[in-house]
Amino acid sequence: MRVVVAADNAGVELKNAVRDQLSADDRVSEVIDLGATSADDDTAYPHFGLAAAEKVAAGEADRAVLVCGTGIGMAVSANKVAGIRATVAHDSYSAERSVKSNNCQIITFGARVVGPELAKKITTEWLGHTFDPGSASAAKVACITDYEAREVHAAS
Ligand SMILES: O=C[C@H](O)[C@H](O)COP(=O)(O)O
């Protein structure tokens, strides 16, 4: 699995902790760090969130973990990219259901909300969850993707 990580200056430290753990995980073939590299970088969170989501949408990565102060801005930004389903997930159950119910490719954390040990534990568990396209949840997710396909088509 190829995983993108990115953060704004509020999330860079937590992003680095998650990145280092992902790099040591045998299930992860590649970790793509889009920055920020330093808390001195004041590039706004949407730039990182959109770039990471575009990588996933383009098939250049399978999943992403994004970090900002709350996780909210990263989730809102990533969800603007066609084909992306992203959510804040500060607890184990939500992270699991984001994959199994919603087929989310991206989870986000708020560095001002969750500590590094919990974020790393959630990330490790999250890697092990997969969406079942034969599950009852699939038709529900299809409502979202069908709507999106119609909107993208109408706009072109
Ligand atoms: O959702 C946004 C993030 O929490 C960001 O790190 C901080 O944004 P703000 O400076 O606009 O509060």
- Distance, CA of 86 to CA of 66 (rounded, Å): 9
Residue 77 CA, ligand 1 centroid: distance in Å: 12
Q: Quick one: which atom of ligand 1 is closest to the CA of 69? A: 4
The DSSP code sequence of 96-149 is HHHHHTT--SEEEEETTTS-HHHHHHHHHHHHT----TTSTHHHHHHHHHHHHH
**Does residue 73's CB lie within 6 angstroms of at least one atom of ligand 1?**
yes
Q: How confident is the model at residue 155 (pLDDT cuts 50, 70, 90)?
A: confident
Our answer to whether residue 104 is catalytic in this structure is no
Q: Please give the Cα distance from 109 to 150 (Å, whole number).
A: 30
ipTM: 0.96
> What's residue 153's pLDDT?
80
In the set 68, 88, 89, 106, the catalytic residue is 68
Q: Is the CB of 45 under 6 A from ligand 1?
A: yes
Residue 153, token pair as written in the block: 């088509």
pLDDT surpassing 90 at residue 156: no
Look at ligand 1, atom 9, and give the residue with the nearest C-alpha.
Answer: 69
Distance 110 CA to ligand 1 centre (A): 9
Q: Tell me what the mean pLDDT of segment 77-100 comes to.
A: 98
CATH 3.30.1360.10 assigned to domain 2-155? The reply is no
In angstroms, the CA 74 to CA 23 distance is 22
Using the mean position of ligand 1's atoms as its centre, give its distance from the Cα of residue 132 in Å.
34
Among the atoms of ligand 1, which is closest to the Cα of residue 74? 1
Give residue-wise pLDDT tens across range 98-151.
999 999 999 999 999 999 999 999 999 999 999 999 999 999 999 999 999 998
pLDDT grade for 82, boundaries at 50, 70 and 90: very high
Q: 31-77, pLDDT tens digit by residue? A: 999 999 999 999 999 999 999 999 999 999 999 999 999 999 999 99
68 CA from centroid of ligand 1 (Å) = 6
